[in-house]
Amino acid sequence: MRTHEDWLAEASKVVVPARPFIAGRFVDAGATTFENRNPATGALLAEVADAGAEGVDVAVRSARTTFDSGVWSRAGVSFRRERMLRFASLIEQHAAELAVLDSLDMGKRVVDAHDLDLPFSVNLFRYYAEAIDKINDEVAPTPPGTLGLIRRVPLGVVGAVVPWNYPVDMLAWKVAPAMAAGNSVVLKPAEQSPSSALRIAELAVEAGIPEGVLNVVPGLGETTGQALGLHPDVDVLAFTGSTEVGAYFLQYAGRSNLKQVWLECGGKSPHLVFADAEDLATTAKQTAFGIWFNQGAVCSAHSRVLVQREVHEEFVSLVAAEAASYAPGDPLDPASGMGAIVSPEQTDRIMQYVGGARAAGARLVTGGERLRRDGSDCYVQPTVFDHVDPASALAREEVFGPVLAVTPFDTEEEAVALANDTAYGLAASVATSNLSRAHRLAERIHAGTVTVNGVDAFSVWTPFGGFKGSGFGRDLSLHALDKYVGLKTVWINH
């Protein structure tokens, strides 16, 4: 296992990419640049080119040319499978470098990037590579003398716009199924975390994936992101990020070419803890993980805990005791419990919610302070507020930081009503030893994923996505492929 010193040495070696990757090479595109800073120290990592509308256009044209040539879109599935498996192995070989790039860019613990994010992404590329030669098209039961074929065809150019919280994974969740289906992709990473995506695009070419299949255009949302959303030659736009920006993409599609839009937006996921939970101490550990892992920057973070009154006081103490394991520190130090918050602006935003909760009369149980270290003040203590008013901002809005809102309840009916009283519907978890209650709640809670006796479960084999303000369309599993293919009916009369 690597030590702090090993990771510091690794970090001193990395080259931080700063130019768009289009048609198989880094190119000069975009008239302006933006700063990529390490939030853990404030140090400037790179001045990155903002691809802008011009860069997006070059990238989309490259993707289209490659798609139309058929070198990938009409290549045999064995060819795509073999190249994608090679690509996955190259990402695996470069896991340490990619983990460091993500950690430097957006402040996450490097060991989490290396031990969790990277293996998940590698596995995901392998999963879709292996899936594509095992899915058959269909023959419909049409009348004699006719043959009705139902074929799955790639759609063309896929635009992907992703956030900063899991840079490598968010890329893999979009790119792996889109690429496996035969499409060409233009990906815009978040402005805070462009580095790993640019490096991965380079690895794709090294793996023998044809130039133009994966293009990466760094840039700002209002310039490069918007240009991709509005581009008339993008067929599909897959987005992960805030609900507000997700709604822009629907507008962009309406104003341009009716491109298909898939949205994986935010959440305010509830964790319902009943007095009959099998083991409160284990549940408290799960609660802590559900809100403090990745500095709370998880779209399905379980940021609301609803606790039955009989065990409420005991449970809150157990959760508060877990805070010590999540003390923030140097993201490159495996001993740190949490890393840095992505930017000063996001840290300000989190602290506004902390201030608002105090002002609204919630009880601060632990944390609540912004910390300074290594020349940066992008660190926030793991925080718990109790007796949070369900109508308050902390109970209703996505903080995207390590701040937990606890609200007690008395009856199951009340718990379900509180859980569903939200603009979101991404995930929910339930702790109970009552089997009937588990099934009842799995049925009644309106969320894309309900986990019983665990928190925020997800896997490569199961769909992930939400209802209501959390968006639509599913990432992961074979179902994700549906977003990147169209059904074509072919009639042969004979």
Q: Which residues would be at the binding site for ligand NDP (CB under 6 A)?
A: 161-165, 188, 190-191, 220-222, 225-226, 229, 240-242, 245, 248, 265-266, 299, 398, 400
Do 48 and 34 form a contact (C-beta atoms < 8 A)? yes
CB of 147 to ligand NDP, least distance (A): 44
Q: Which two tokens stand for residue 393?
A: 């901002």
The phi and psi torsions of 257 (rounded to 5 degrees) equal: -125, 20
Task: For ligand NDP, give the closer residue by CB, 163 or 270.
Answer: 163
Task: For ligand NDP, give the closer residue by CB, 164 or 274.
Answer: 164
The strand ranges marked E within 298-440 are 304-308, 363-366, 370-373, 376-380, 383-386, 403-409, 427-431
For the question of residue 398 being annotated catalytic, the response is no
DSSP per-residue string spanning 472-489: ES-BSTGGGGGGGEEEEE
Task: For ligand NDP, give the closer residue by CB, 266 or 367.
Answer: 266
DSSP 295: G
> Of 206, 150, 155, 198, which Cα lies nearest the Cα of 180?
155
CB of 17 to ligand NDP, least distance (A): 16
Q: Which two tokens stand for residue 493?
A: 């009369």
CB of 400 to ligand NDP, least distance (A): 3
What are the residues whose beta carbons fall under 8 Å from the beta carbon of 312, sequence distance 6 or more? 406, 408
Environment class of residue 170 by beta-carbon count within 10 Å: exposed (0-12), middle (13-18) or buried (19+)? buried
In angstroms, the CA 236 to CA 218 distance is 19
Task: For ligand NDP, give the closer residue by CB, 325 or 462.
Answer: 462
For the question of residue 412 being annotated catalytic, the response is no
Which H helix or E strand runs over 275?
Answer: none
CB of 250 to ligand NDP, least distance (A): 11
Q: Which two tokens stand for residue 400?
A: 């995207």
Do 99 and 114 form a contact (C-beta atoms < 8 A)? yes
Task: For ligand NDP, give the closer residue by CB, 20 or 210.
Answer: 20
CB of 160 to ligand NDP, least distance (A): 9
Task: For ligand NDP, give the closer residue by CB, 153 or 220.
Answer: 220
- 258 phi-psi bin (left φ>0, alpha ψ -120 to 50, beta other): left
From 191, 202, 211, 264, the catalytic residue: 264
CB of 474 to ligand NDP, least distance (A): 14
Q: Which amino acid is at 329?
A: G
The residues annotated with a catalytic role in the active site are 264, 299
